[in-house]
Structure 1
């Protein structure tokens, strides 16, 4: 099985650029054998791109266009890439963890087509959190269109709710301990298989920019 973790990466803010490098390294521990693909904007420092290119499991796909909230949708292009069996969408400023890998394995074993994680008590009350889901590419319509849309903060969440949710709502495994998300069809909701040891808001402020873990540790 070939699996891909997809990211949008733009700007020069270190929580994202250094975060991308950290995730590429963490993937060799927690997601060994997975490919990471970064859809990158022109504003990403060349030193960051050069470092990422050194890693054999990392792909960079250069993007054109506005580098604002609309760029968050770049990563969704991977959902229709039939080279991969499963695509996971993540945020560059959130660290990959063992806990989410175990949750991902539970998703694969379920036989369902889509995986949604809701691991924050106030920040994940969306149909699909843009950096906390996975999909089997065989379940994604080949003609799924990624519209440029408008520049506002939750544009990616709104696009997922409008365009993707209707396609997958009957076949999703939802790890949710906060919102009691209703399920439809064959979908199932359950607790995370491993309890969380710490949460972002419990960490010292000086560590938050480098230790963001919405699904771990």
Structure 2
């Protein structure tokens, strides 16, 4: 089921995305003729509204990043709906950069903001994450392995229900995607019924055709690369917080892991 879904996304995306867009992608390797310098690495988040699940999650992730991603900067794309005290807490952290955005015209349009980092020529390596998940050492080990691989794209799927080609909060890119904002605007123009997970559909239909053959994909359920760091219990990259809201996901993961262990023994 999972492989079939990704294969369908593949075929659909290749049909609807013009080949001329391939020249919008410039990998970090293609930028190697530039003077040697310290690479700027960014963890990018979108943040809007007052839901503590996201606002407190943003602050917690920024604090975690100081330990887990010490050489990285957390960039938050936010609008005026974010409470002032949350902005103050973020600004008090040395690893945080805030980009102010206008209030979106469409529901869930703000979820695309974090992708804007991909078009920033001053950023060498970027990963996009969800504010309501938590950064962790398992994903960090996977990110380090990706950076060592030299491949432009990084895709993480760490749960049986991670069935989209690219998850909006678990991917990365080395290089620059020129005109990423224009690509998003064009996509939204044709998808005015902007709904939850529209950002993930965009990645599957627009970005995945370029990423599919030049990505390191960590996915132990459906044929990807194994994670370099072992799983602790039923934790997984991209796990939503608070934990009690993900109990159904956790139980399903436990079932899959039990089946895998049984198959390994037999």
Answer yes or no: same fold by TM over 0.5. Answer: yes
Distance of 1:21 and 1:109 partners within structure 2? 29
Over the residues paired in the alignment, what is the CA RMSD in angstroms?
A: 2.2
Q: Secondary structure at the match of 1:146?
A: helix
Q: How many residues align?
A: 198
What do the CA deviations read for 1:162-211 (whole angstroms, capped 9, x no partner)?
2111222211000001233xxxxxxxx3111112113359xxxx951699
SS at match of 1:195: coil
Select which of 130, 143, 149 maps to 2:179: 143
Call closer, same or farther: CA 1:117–1:15 in 2, change over 3 Å: same
- In terms of mean alpha carbon deviation, does 189-198 or 2-11 score higher? 189-198
Q: If the length of structure 2 is used for normalisation, what is the TM-score?
A: 0.69
TM-aligned CA distance change 1:132 to 1:13, over 3 Å: same
Alignment partner for residue 46 of structure 1, among 81, 84, 88? 84
User: Is the aligned partner of 1:57 residue 2:102?
Assistant: no
Q: Give the corresponding residue for 1:96.
A: 135
**Alignment gaps of 5+ in structure 1:** 181-188
Larger helix proportion of the pair: 2
Once residues 246 and 89 of structure 2 are traced to their aligned partners in structure 1, the CA distance between those partners, rounded to angstroms, is: 20
Is 1:155 equivalent to 2:198 in the alignment? yes
Secondary structure of 1:4's partner? Answer: strand
Aligned counterparts of 1:40 and 1:165: Cα–Cα separation in 2:
26
Out of 148, 151, 156, the position equivalent to 1:109 is: 148
Work out whether 1:32 is the aligned partner of 2:70: yes
Q: Is the 8 A contact 2:125 2:173 kept in 1?
A: yes
Contact 1:15–1:210, Cα closer than 8 Å, also in 2 = no
What TM-score comes out, normalization by structure 1 length?
0.84
- In structure 2, the CA distance between the partners of 1:67 and 1:92, relative to structure 1 (3 Å rule), is farther
Q: Identify the residue that residue 233 of structure 2 maps to in structure 1.
A: 198
* Runs (5+) with no aligned partner, structure 2: 1-38, 251-266
CA distance in 1, matches of 2:105, 2:86: 20
158, 161, 166: which one pairs with 1:119?
158
For the pair 1:78 / 2:117, whether they are aligned, the reply is yes
Q: Name 1:2's counterpart in structure 2.
A: 40
The structural deviation recorded for 1:67 is: 6.8
Distance in 2 between residues matched to 1:198 and 1:40, nearest whole Å: 34
Alignment check: 8 A CA contact 1:84 1:137 kept: yes
